[in-house]
Structure 1
Amino acid sequence: MKSHRFHFLFSILLLGYCCTVSAQSQKSVLDRVIDVQVWEVNLDSAIIRVSEVSGIFFSYNADIVPIKQKFTLAESNKSVKYVLSKLLTGTGLEYKLIGDQVIIFKPQVTVEEAKFKEHVMLFGTVTDDATGVPIEGVNVFVAKSMLGDGTDQNGFFSIDHLPLGTYEVTFSHVAYQLGVKKINIQDTTDIALRIALISKLGQLESIEVISTRDKSWERHLRAFQTAFLGSTPNASRCVITNDHVLDFQYYGNDDLLIGYASEPLIIENWALGYRIYYVLELFEQRGGTTRYVGKSRFEELTPSDEGELKRWNKNRLRAYRGSLEHFIRSLTANRLRKEGFLVYKVYDLPTSGPVPFYEVTINNILKNGSHSYEKKLSFKDYLQVMYLRETEPMSYLEEKQKLLSNNLASPAGLNYRMAGESGGSRQVSYLQLNIPTVSVDRRGFIYDPLAVTTLGYWSWERLAESLPIEYEPETRPRK
């Protein structure tokens, strides 16, 4: 039988320190106020330091201590209780005061409890790449979600309730270059992250961008809003509350508009009830083609009354139905027909007339991925996707007609018809892969957004129709 090693930590107490333990002292020992500073040390060293400055005896099994994790503490005038809670966050360890000592232990988890533990905690520290000093006020969030936190004075952050899956964790601060970490959560082990951000100081000193609200800026802003938010009814209810952070460059010879944002854009969507913080990494519009890339975080707005909340829920469901996320979720769950989708393979886009189309077998385009929650999507040419439970709205039909009347074959794909049909009012979209294989998951999440191109109806829907990955329709799926 394997023997266990135990660490017993004794602190050198000041002369005259009274070791008498009473019920009152036991109750208050964790309320002792201490100052403690440790930098990038293992848990053993951190606990030793807390023991030294607090005069408290600690006992624990050395086998339960995480080996690879590093810890940083810089606390002044804080209780031992506060310091321990912060130190043990994300380790899976707990503590208990027994007599005059603190016992650190790993709680036993039954098979049933482990089965139902579906979420983990992500925690860590953010520092300056050059100095190693913790950065306060970094916006840390999971892209396209409502999960996020801001770093404290020690550069510490924690994000709880992350289910199994692959995520992009974004680190945003106005004075630093954007940081992004991709993580895979494969089991219920909490994840520790450390990241160092590179300062923008040199860039800010050498480049001064002045955004002037002249007529050309106003014109470019309107073009940006239409291309970025869309032209749907929901887009008309969206407001970019800090559009002053935007600047534009237009190259007339190439008909190219490039947009920049010096800070994350703040968009209030009063149609769906979300405030979106959007870190714009790329915006280009050339003719009828728009490309934009960024990281978004969602917050729920506060409804004025119950009626507005009901409208938001109704609009969210409408935005979800037939969307690309709805399609990917239905595809990975093998529920395409039950959810109202018809999918065909086409070798070309029907810009001028019908083209041959072939029914798709899911097993031929979708394979298991590296993880239980992941699928690999692979096909050549195009998938044609028809959503049967909603019609194309009048605003979309009017935009298609405008393109046709101006003799424009829109690269955005608005004027493509259903293959093999003369027309129709059902929502028709096309999906093209830009790389041989694309990873997706059961939440409808596409790991690399630039790996796919959408045309037809999906290309008309922009940020104003976006929902966080946590969104689940309230209605039961049809069987």
Structure 2
Amino acid sequence: MMMVPVMSWAQSVVVTGKITSADTKAPVAGASVFLSNSSFGTSTGKDGKFTLTSLKPGQYNLVVSSVGYEDELKLISLVDAGVVLNIELKPKITQLKEVTIAPISKSDRKQALEQFKQDFIGTDENAGNCKIVNPDVLNFSYHQNKTVLEAYTDEFLLVENKALGYRIKFLLRNFKSELQTGNISYSGSQVFEELKGGKVKQERWHRKRDEAYYGSAMHFFRALYRDSLDDAGYRIYRLSRDINESRPADRNIQAHLVNARKLSRDSLIFWVNAAHDSRYTHQKFHGRFNVKDIVKSTANPNLKEVIFPDHLYVVYTKKWEANFYKDVYRSPNDLNYQTTIVSLVNNNPSIVIDKNGTIIGPSPMYEGSWSQARLSVLLPVDYTPYSTQQQFLETQALKRD
């Protein structure tokens, strides 16, 4: 029996508009128009017009992309009324990127592509069922003695996720992987398209999508917005900690370990132990938060603000943690539930969210379970679960038995 979504939105919003060239005022045909990180996308007709229908209320980044023009990004708020947009695209000024190193060799490109797949798509079970359809559009470069990998594309990077049943079109504007520290950052816009499949495939995709959803950051922020954390299986705490000043910087540690053969036994032991030391010290819980302690209303009735001191410690009690994170503090008496530490970055005072669990503006930093989420488990922001959490947990229990 085919599963059907268990959540619904009362309203269905329509966005229409016309895309023209800023210099000639002529309509731009064939431009891609989509809501970033959603399953809503289309192309403009010969007259430059477009229509996006059956949209769920929320905050979205509307993206317009066309060959020969600069991408246009526009934050739109969808409530219960239609939105009409007239957007002018600026012609792209072709500029050669600053060349700081020689083009990478074929062997280096092969190595870079494999590293990119691990860092961008992931290394979990789902990642094994993901394929980059057009890897040739990726441009790679190495920096700092091949310890930093960067990548970008001038057109859509196409990835087929056959684990979840999506074809993802990703405009990757920049990607950076620091190979010594493990830090990964990237920016861009993406739109999801449903893969075609029979009933058996569809049901398998629905189960895998729900598996990716429950316990995810999207699931958490939706529950936080609705003040339903207890029912969803989350506990939140305030966590304070200090930087471990006695631990050498990651770059120093990795630089010494790369030359391990040249080190004395005592020196090697020192640097290995340093690598295993936590970056933090004096970690301490300061009690459990209630939703009302950290979630505040905003001037926009469709948005809420999440404000907390120090760090937000999030425990999901419906899944066990499969990985070890040396920098994630665990209470000696706590069970090994999936745990994530949420930290504000770049002096941002808060996190702003909408009812879909979408973060509006800069994203926080995640350590622990959510930090491992890659494209292999990425769901569109308009995703609707196909089973309730209880149904999902019961199905998982039956599979284990």
What TM-score bracket applies, with the shorter chain setting the length?
A: 0.7 to 0.9
Q: Which amino acid aligns with 2:192?
A: F
- Out of 296, 305, 309, the residue aligned to residue 367 of structure 1 is 296
Q: Deviations over 1:196-229 (max 9, x none)?
A: 112225337999x998770101111111111111
Partner of residue 88, structure 2: 196
Q: Does 1:391 align with 2:304?
A: no
Partner of residue 468, structure 1: 380
Partner of residue 164, structure 2: 272
Q: Which amino acid aligns with 1:322?
A: G
- Out of 421, 424, 427, the residue aligned to residue 332 of structure 2 is 421
Tell me how far apart the structure 2 counterparts of residues 456 and 378 of structure 1 sit (CA, whole Å): 20
Q: Deviations over 1:160-209 (max 9, x none)?
A: 12233221100012322111011122442x211111112225337999x9
Q: CA deviation at 1:283?
A: 0.8
Q: CA deviation at 1:270?
A: 0.5
Q: Which amino acid aligns with 1:468?
A: P
- Alignment gaps of 5+ in structure 2: 1-8, 243-277, 392-401
The number of residues matched between the two structures is: 342
Q: Deviations over 1:437-473 (max 9, x none)?
A: 221011111112x331111110111111111122211
- The question of whether the paired residues in 2 share the 8 Å contact of 1:283 and 1:291 is answered with yes
Q: Does 1:355 align with 2:283?
A: yes
- The question of whether the paired residues in 2 share the 8 Å contact of 1:417 and 1:423 is answered with no
Q: CA deviation at 1:132?
A: 1.4
Q: CA deviation at 1:424?
A: 4.8
- Out of 146, 161, 168, the residue aligned to residue 54 of structure 2 is 161
- The question of whether the paired residues in 2 share the 8 Å contact of 1:137 and 1:150 is answered with yes
- Out of 149, 160, 178, the residue aligned to residue 257 of structure 1 is 149
Q: CA deviation at 1:353?
A: 7.1
Q: CA deviation at 1:254?
A: 7.9
Q: CA deviation at 1:419?
A: 3.4
Partner of residue 439, structure 1: 352
Superposed, 1:200-215 pairs within 5 Å as 200-203=92-95, 214-215=106-107
- Out of 63, 74, 78, the residue aligned to residue 185 of structure 1 is 78
Q: CA deviation at 1:278?
A: 0.8
Partner of residue 292, structure 1: 186
- Alignment gaps of 5+ in structure 1: 1-115, 401-413
Superposed, 1:335-354 pairs within 5 Å as 335-348=228-241
Partner of residue 97, structure 1: none
Give the superposed CA RMSD. Answer: 2.6
- The question of whether the paired residues in 1 share the 8 Å contact of 2:157 and 2:170 is answered with yes
Superposed, 1:56-135 pairs within 5 Å as 118-135=11-28
Q: Does 1:281 align with 2:173?
A: yes
Tell me how far apart the structure 2 counterparts of residues 211 and 160 of structure 1 sit (CA, whole Å): 44
Q: Deviations over 1:378-399 (max 9, x none)?
A: 1232111111111223xxx3xx
- The question of whether the paired residues in 2 share the 8 Å contact of 1:135 and 1:154 is answered with yes
Partner of residue 451, structure 1: 363
- The question of whether the paired residues in 2 share the 8 Å contact of 1:176 and 1:199 is answered with yes
* 3-state SS of 2:125 partner: coil
- The question of whether the paired residues in 2 share the 8 Å contact of 1:342 and 1:387 is answered with yes
Tell me how far apart the structure 2 counterparts of residues 474 and 280 of structure 1 sit (CA, whole Å): 30
Partner of residue 224, structure 2: 331
Q: Deviations over 1:31-55 (max 9, x none)?
A: xxxxxxxxxxxxxxxxxxxxxxxxx
Tell me how far apart the structure 1 counterparts of residues 343 and 47 of structure 2 sit (CA, whole Å): 45
Tell me how far apart the structure 1 counterparts of residues 107 and 129 of structure 2 sit (CA, whole Å): 24
Q: CA deviation at 1:232?
A: 1.3
* 3-state SS of 2:50 partner: strand
The TM-score with structure 2 as length reference comes to: 0.79
Greater shift, 422-431 or 121-130, is seen at: 422-431
Structure 1's 385 and 205: CA in aligned 2 closer, same or farther, altered over 3 A?
closer
Structure 1's 418 and 475: CA in aligned 2 closer, same or farther, altered over 3 A?
farther
Structure 1's 262 and 213: CA in aligned 2 closer, same or farther, altered over 3 A?
farther
RCO higher in structure (CA 8 A, sep ≥6):
2
Q: Deviations over 1:250-271 (max 9, x none)?
A: 1124822211112111110000
- Out of 145, 167, 170, the residue aligned to residue 38 of structure 2 is 145
Tell me how far apart the structure 1 counterparts of residues 185 and 98 of structure 2 sit (CA, whole Å): 28
Partner of residue 262, structure 2: none
* 3-state SS of 1:235 partner: helix
* 3-state SS of 1:127 partner: strand
Tell me how far apart the structure 2 counterparts of residues 310 and 129 of structure 1 sit (CA, whole Å): 46
Structure 1's 205 and 293: CA in aligned 2 closer, same or farther, altered over 3 A?
closer
The TM-score with structure 1 as length reference comes to: 0.67
Tell me how far apart the structure 2 counterparts of residues 307 and 354 of structure 1 sit (CA, whole Å): 51
Partner of residue 11, structure 1: none
Q: CA deviation at 1:329?
A: 0.7
* 3-state SS of 1:176 partner: coil
* 3-state SS of 1:126 partner: strand
* 3-state SS of 2:241 partner: coil
